[in-house]
Amino acid sequence: MDLFLMTIATGLMVGGIYALVALGWVLIYKCSGVLNLAMGEMTLIGAYTSLSFYSMGVPFLASLLISLIIGFILGILTERIFLDRLIGEPVLSVIMVTVGLSFFFKGIVELIWGTDTRVFDPPVFSMEPIKFGPIVVGQVYVWSFIAAMILLVIFVSFFKYTQWGLSMQATADDEMAALSVGVSARFVYAAAWAIAFMAAGVGGTLLGNINGLNISVGYLGLLVLPAVVLGGLNSVPGAIVGGLIIGVLQNLTGAYLDKYFPGGVKEIAPFVFMAVFLLFKPHGLWGWERIERV
Amino acid sequence: MSTTFLPCGVYHENYAQDHAWFQTNLIKGKMILLFVLLYVVIPWTADVYWISVMNQVGYTIMGALGVQLLIGYCGQLTLGHAAFIAVGAYTSTLLILEFPWPQFLLDLGLAYPISIVVAAVVAGIWSVLFGLPSARVKGFYLILTTMAAQFITVDFLITQYISQIGGRGQAFSLPTGTIKIGPWTIDSDVKVYYMILTFVVLCIAAVANLIRSRVGRAWIAIRDNDISAEVMGINLVQYKLMAFFVAGFIGGIAGACWISNLAAISPEHFPWFWSLWLVGVILIGGVGSIHGTVFGALFMVVVMELLQMAVMPLSDAYPKLLMDFLFIKESAFGLSICLFLLFEPNGLAYRWWQIKNYFNLWPFSY
């Protein structure tokens, strides 16, 4: 029973990070209709940037801030250079441009930082585990979860209460109507990419704190897909719930099924789940149902 | 509409003529020249290095042909084709190594040819299995299910279970001499070249013939508008699954052929990267054209080799560069996909068509 509770707790906390990255993904999809497969490499760039500054002696929060700023700039640049020209193109072109971008980013990350695993040294969070009754969780998980939750609240209130956020919501809802009342769609697209890049960077940094940082952290970018499919592609609460559920599911399969299917069952379970889920409820939990026959 | 320009005074009188392969004697002559070039000139003149590059091109063409069929002709997006190539390769390897072949089949050298056929069928069936969701979903969701095919097949089933058969652990080694077709043992690059070339020609001919048949027209109708295709009486599910089967079949042949070129096969030969690479090949070559597939494969493989050649001399000055070449290649691949989609969305096949027309219409190009 303790194992069960602990697995759930760890899963929820890792799921918080997934939720953050999934939020960035959903944002891009909602605002500009781009299905982004470069999310994993975006997390890598952010994570490696903050790690570099941290190892240079900059305090953790400051280096996180620097990586946020760099993510913001890179997000706007990416949107302006590559995605801006592809508005209205077929879905395969858009997806493959993001795939191309992901290889481009990945190659550059490997060129600059190499492929060895790096850790945040000295560790940012202390190694002492925290106890909640019978549940024992590493401190880094708790802090990551708290950080992810704070950022989620910031992002969500940004959409709800600021003018920029409202204009983004308007564009996502109906682009033509938003254009006619004076919302600049190009600005919204750029902002969506910038925010997604920033969210991905924070997610990558937090994950890098847990397991150390190497290229396989970019796997997070693929893990986001089951999360957003589960929640529905264009739903922000769906992305958050989906991220949490995928985190829990991953840890549960890792804890209980690993005995029967040794090896990579933890990595594969979200995708199996996704494939089965798609067969029965392709629009996810809260996605818009477009009625069409296939 | 036929895409070839005919000389003045030559007219087609029926549909069959319009879709014939060799519409004029000039085209026939050019094709015979191409045959001579591929079968005689290249293997006799090129050195071993370029032959092995050509083998890679052939393998890429066969792999990409299935992707082209699915994406370019049937409109079913797929990002997991390496899984089916892997299924083909592993089926063939396992059959050769583990199956108790009767002695007379071994003497006749039929083990490998039979295993290629079985591998192709198994890969086709496996592909249909993962094509089943296409009955309910399309576009992005189909991409997700094909991605799941990649992860389930290669990263889970093959890595964890298939690789354990025979207690070898990670890789299956194929000693030289195990792969025989009839009296010939496939043990040198030139022999592999001939084998792959023959299979590439057969596959291209088969796909080209399929495309101009009822089945191919049904696929194209589904790609262009699936609802009107259904209204016209095309059974969508049946034809989509047929496309998945043929694509998997060709992928299986590609995988089974490629093992003759490898000393050992392991799951690392079929990463997700390879699936994406194949889609990149058809995007650069041109979606919806068979010769686009060939151009794309030539471009991707040969350009990467040239890039390597350009980097090599610099490695004396910067030894790190040699190690980093893989990453440069990855970046260059990503960037070239982006740039092609942005500035040349019709691919190389369209450029080729333009150049050909320029010469066909010369000197009066109006």
pLDDT digits (tens, 9 = 90+) for A40-95: 889 999 999 999 998 888 888 899 899 999 999 999 999 898 888 887 777 778 88
Q: Does residue A81 sit within a domain?
A: yes
CA atoms within 13 A on the CB side of A195: 27
pLDDT tens digit sequence for B104-113: 887 788 888 8
B185: which residues sit within 8 A by CB, 6+ positions away? B176, B177, B179, B191
CA dihedral B7, B20, B220, B245 (to 10 degrees): -150
- CA closest to B132 among chain A residues: A279
pLDDT at B292 over 50: yes
pLDDT at B27 over 80: yes
Residue A134 to chain B, least CA–CA distance (Å): 34
Q: Which comes out higher in pLDDT, residue B327 or B60?
A: B60
pLDDT tens digit sequence for A136-187: 788 888 888 888 888 888 888 888 898 888 888 888 878 888 889 888 888 8
Partner A contacted by B283 (CB < 8 A) = yes
Q: Does residue A222 sit within a domain?
A: yes
Structural domains of chain B, ranges and CATH numbers in brackets: 23-361 (1.10.3470)
What is d(CA A11, CA A254) in angstroms, rounded to the nearest whole number? 10
| Chain mean pLDDT for chain B | 86
- CA closest to A294 among chain B residues: B136
Strand partners, A136: A131
Q: Does residue A242 sit within a domain?
A: yes
Could you tell me the pLDDT band of residue B235, with boundaries at 50, 70 and 90? Answer: very high
Tokens of A253: 């399969």
| pLDDT at residue number B207 | 94
pLDDT tens digit sequence for B256-280: 999 888 878 888 889 888 998 999 9
Q: Which of B266, B150, B89 is nearest to A267 (CA)?
A: B150
When scoring A41, A87, A99, A229 by the number of chain B Cβ atoms within 10 A, the one with the most, hence best to mutate, is: A99
Q: Are B217 and B78 in contact (CB under 8 A)?
A: no
CATH number of the domain to which A98 belongs: 1.10.3470
What is d(CA B129, CA B119) in angstroms, rounded to the nearest whole number? 15
Give contacts of B 301-320 with A, CB under 8 A. none
pLDDT at B61 over 60: yes
**Max mean pLDDT range (A25-34, A113-122, B35-44):** B35-44
Residue A46 to chain B, least CA–CA distance (Å): 18
φ/ψ (deg, to 5) at A271:
-75, -40
pLDDT tens digit sequence for B145-198: 888 888 888 888 888 778 777 666 667 777 777 778 877 888 788 888 999 999
Q: Does residue A16 sit within a domain?
A: yes
Q: Is the peptide bond before B133 cis (omega within 30 degrees of 0)?
A: no
Q: Does residue A230 sit within a domain?
A: yes
Q: Which residues of A touch B345 (CB under 8 A)?
A: 89, 93
pLDDT at B305 over 90: no
CB within 8 Å: A96 and B279:
yes
What is d(CA B301, CA A195) in angstroms, rounded to the nearest whole number? 37
DSSP per position, A195-229: HHHHHHHHHHHHHHHHH-BSGGGGGHHHHHHHHHH
C-alpha distances in angstroms, B106 versus B103, B109, B156? 5, 5, 33
When scoring A91, A104, A292 by the number of chain B Cβ atoms within 10 A, the one with the most, hence best to mutate, is: A104
pLDDT at B346 over 70: yes
% residues pLDDT > 70 (chain B)? 95
Q: Does residue A154 sit within a domain?
A: yes
Could you tell me the pLDDT band of residue B366, with boundaries at 50, 70 and 90? Answer: low
Q: Are B210 and B216 in contact (CB under 8 A)?
A: yes
Strand partners, B264: B173
**Structural domain span for residue A186:** 2-280
Q: Are B75 and B216 in contact (CB under 8 A)?
A: no
| pLDDT at residue number B181 | 81
Query: Which of A89, A268, A293 lies nearest to residue B151, judging by beta carbons?
Result: A268
What is d(CA A13, CA A5) in angstroms, rounded to the nearest whole number? 12
B97: which residues sit within 8 A by CB, 6+ positions away? B166, B172, B174, B178
What ipTM does this complex have? 0.81
Q: Which of B164, B81, B152, B83 is nearest to A265 (CA)?
A: B152
pTM of the predicted model over 0.90: no
Domain count, chain A: 1
What is d(CA A126, CA A209) in angstroms, rounded to the nearest whole number? 11
Report CA torsion sign: B193, B195, B199, B202: positive
Average pLDDT, stretch A252-264? 77
Q: Is the peptide bond before B43 cis (omega within 30 degrees of 0)?
A: no
| pLDDT at residue number B3 | 57
| pLDDT at residue number B243 | 95
pLDDT tens digit sequence for B73-131: 998 888 889 999 999 999 998 888 888 888 888 778 888 889 999 999 999 999 999 88
Average pLDDT, stretch B238-253? 95
CA atoms within 13 A on the CB side of B355: 5
Average pLDDT, stretch B327-344? 87
Could you tell me the pLDDT band of residue A225, with boundaries at 50, 70 and 90? Answer: confident
Q: Does residue A292 sit within a domain?
A: no
Residue B163 to chain A, least CA–CA distance (Å): 12
Average pLDDT, stretch A12-32? 87
pLDDT at B1 over 50: no
